[in-house]
Amino acid sequence: MIPDDRRHPLLIVGSLAFDSVETPTDKVERALGGSASFASIAASYYSQPQVVGIVGTDFTDHHMSRMLDHKVDTAGVERVAGETFHWRGRYHSNFKERDTLETALNVFESFDPVLPEAYRDAPVVFLGNIAPELQLKVLEQARGARLVALDTMNFWIETARDALIEVLKRVDILLINDEEAVQLSGADSVVEAAAHIRALGPKYLVIKRGEYGAILFGPDSTLYVPAMLLSNVVDPTGAGDTFAGGFIGHLSSSGSLDRATLGGALLTGTVMASFAVEAFSVDGICGLKAERVAGRRAELEAMIRY
């Protein structure tokens, strides 16, 4: 599945984290997580991710190897004295809603990203979920950026709204979930929220709706893809980041934003996210064989072709 000759550099900034997660049926402590981990591994099946981020001394070579095994470039990941970002969450009985119990930024608090020279010409940039100030600092150094996508979450909408609005002015594609879209815009419905958010800067908006699929609002068209129908959800954590990684990985490898390519990117994001939720941490998206990914994509396409 991982192409040998990947000519599509994709610059990704985001969190590299330890996640402690409790679901209605199971739990895990300090497993590898973070928006950049999920997004870069998902994107690695389609492009050459170059990750910018920071970890503490508790982040071992084993954790790093999950990305390196997928040929993710980690030259832009700093390891410094201190503790890695830690997130703790608990899902409600339906696996949909969750409470964040702890967000410890740790080494991210004093992170001042400096992009390796080799990263600066990447034509596609994914500003994964992390402090908007950091997303902006990365964008300012990405001189080759021609397509910029951004993901964020409630935490940053609440605590760093002004910086987020600032960076949104420079973004082509925003990916967020439906609750965040409503929270960011103050609108009541997803459709109203979309109009409001696109006026803030992003030409394209992808609203992720969990088990109800994803909608892309663009200047020329609105596209919708349902989620895969899954019987074995283990842990939804990282589904959004994985969706984003698959979506932007697909776009970076195709170099177009026409309707068919955007639709293909939605399908890719959906398929990758479906693997993520079937296991804890990044386990569901590591080492996927081409046939498995293609098989699931065919299943999804068959479901929406009448």
Residues that bind ligand AMP (CB under 6 A): 15, 17, 19, 33-35, 87, 103, 129-130, 153, 155, 237-241
For ligand AMP, the closer of residues 127 and 148 by Cβ is 127
**How far is it, in rounded angstroms, from Cα 145 to Cα 13?**
13
Distance CA 175, CA 205 (A): 6
Nearest 5°: CA angle at 98, between 21 and 130? 75
Closest separation between CB of residue 256 and ligand AMP, Å? Answer: 26
- Please, what is the minimum distance in Å from the beta carbon of residue 242 to ligand AMP? 7
Q: Can you list the alpha helix ranges (DSSP code H) found in 6-114?
A: 35-43, 61-68
Pairing of strands 204-208, 214-217: antiparallel
Bridge partner residues of 53 (DSSP): 77
Nearer to ligand AMP, 19 or 172 (CB): 19
As a dihedral over the C-alpha atoms of residue 156, residue 73, residue 237, residue 85, rounded to 10 degrees, the angle is -50
Nearer to ligand AMP, 33 or 76 (CB): 33
Residue among 37, 32, 30, 69 nearest 53 (CA): 37
H or E segment and range at residue 102: strand 98-104
- The Cα–Cα gap between 122 and 279 comes to 31
Counting DSSP H helices and E strands in the chain, the numbers are 10, 13
Closest distance of CB 129 from ligand AMP, Å: 4
Joined together, the tokens standing for residue 279 give 């296991």
What type of residue is 294? A
Q: At its nearest, how many Å lie between ligand AMP and the CB of residue 153? A: 6
- Nearest approach, Cβ of residue 21 and ligand AMP (Å): 8
> Which is closer to ligand AMP, CB of 163 or CB of 257?
163
Q: Taking the complex as a whole, how short is the minimal distance between the CB of residue 265 and ligand AMP, in angstroms?
A: 17
Whether the CB-CB separation of 244 and 273 falls below 8 Å is answered with no
Task: Please check whether residue 214 is in contact with residue 243, taking contact to mean a CB–CB distance below 8 angstroms.
Answer: yes
What SS3 state is found at 93? coil
Residue 86 Cβ vs ligand AMP, minimum distance, rounded to whole Å: 8
Output 38 or 217, the one with its CB closest to ligand AMP: 38
Burial class of residue 188 (count of CB atoms within 10 Å of its CB; 0-12, 13-18, 19+): exposed
Cβ of residue 87: shortest distance to ligand AMP, in angstroms?
Answer: 4
Nearer to ligand AMP by C-beta: 24 or 255?
A: 24
Q: Which residue lies nearer to ligand AMP by CB, 134 or 193?
A: 134
131 vs 148, beta carbon nearer ligand AMP: 131
